[in-house]
Structure 1
Amino acid sequence: MTNSLDRFFGAMSDPTRRAIIEMLATRPASVSDLHAPHQMALPTFMRHLRVLEEVGLIRSVKKGRVRTCYIEPQPLIAAQGWLAWQREIWENRRDDIP
Structure 2
Amino acid sequence: MVFATLFPLGILQLYHSISVSYYDARTLNYIGSRTNSVLEWLRMPGDFVFILGGALPILYISFLGIRHMRPAPPTEEPKEILFTDVVAEAKER
TM-score normalized by the length of structure 1:
0.32
With a CA cutoff of 8 Å and minimum separation of 6, indicate the structure with the bigger relative contact order.
Answer: 1
TM-score normalized by the length of structure 2:
0.33
The structure having more radius of gyration, on CA atoms, is 2
